[in-house]
Amino acid sequence: MSKVLLSLSRDVTELCNPYFKQLGLDHFNYIHRDHNGHVAYLCSNPNWLNHYLKKSYPEIGAFEQKTELSEYNYILWNGLDQKDPILIDSTEMLGVKFGITIIKHEQDGFGFYNLGAKSSDSSIINKYINNLNQYENFISEFQEKADVILHAAKKSKLYIGSGTLTNKRKKSGYQFGNLYLTERELQCVNYLILGKTAEEIAIILNISKRTAETHTLNIKRKMNCFNQFRLGYLLGQIGITIT
């Protein structure tokens, strides 16, 4: 599986090189996380991707594990935990100390587009912010030109769960036809059907309001339905009832 991803890296490098020269970038890494806990990768540097997978970094990576980061449009790496071994390695191996991640809502999950230049000068952060529009254009063109590559990467996706990295789907929730819900999401569903808000669900389940909002948003995205009454109807149609 990793051999497929490493092979794809060569295609990604060829595709990215013209943009790198234009934008003053040296590194591109794409992480796709779907709603069921699967992740797929593309990278312009096969050595980095090989290192990343061998070190089992998907099990601790912020973009794989912290679902709340999906709420942002972009994240500057200096805002992440600077003791993170992934960031430390990216500085040592890639020469990229400061980078930026642009986050996109995609059809079946989220895309994290990691961009960086070889620099230890924090002033490059201002360059990232000033060039956001150019990076957005690059991502749009990349998505269009790399459609086949992206499809191949997603076929070689990994499942992250319970501290184990595997390329087989590992369920810890419930399957309803084509809909998969985690155990916590199913708990939230019961209260959504009753018309409870995220704030009320948080109190009932003794979780933070933000966590409850994340769970309910994930449910609605999986159902592709953001209307409360329609959601209740669809959930009833596939056999999810109040317990």
For the stretch 4-22, pLDDT in tens is 677 788 889 999 999 999 9
Q: What is the pLDDT of residues 221-241, one digit of tens each?
A: 877 776 766 776 666 655 565
The predicted structure's pLDDT at residue 131: 94
The predicted structure's pLDDT at residue 101: 96
Asked if residues 56 and 50 have their Cβ atoms less than 8 Å apart, the reply is no
Which residue type sits at 42? L
The domains located in the chain, with CATH, are: 2-166 (3.30.450.80), 174-237 (1.10.10.10)
- pLDDT confidence band for 96 (50 / 70 / 90): very high
The predicted structure's pLDDT at residue 161: 55
Q: Which DSSP letter does residue 96 get? A: B
Which residue type sits at 63? F
Mean pLDDT of the chain: 83
For residue 99, the cross-strand partners are 116
Strands (E), 60-182: 74-76, 99-106, 109-116, 158-161, 164-166, 174-176, 179-181
Q: What is the pLDDT of residues 133-176, one digit of tens each?
A: 999 999 999 998 888 888 878 777 776 654 444 444 444 556 55
Give percent of the chain with pLDDT exceeding 70: 83
How many CB atoms sit inside 10 A of residue 182's CB?
A: 19
Determine the average pLDDT of the residues in 39-63: 89
Mapping DSSP to helix (H, G, I), strand (E, B) and coil, where does residue 40 land?
strand
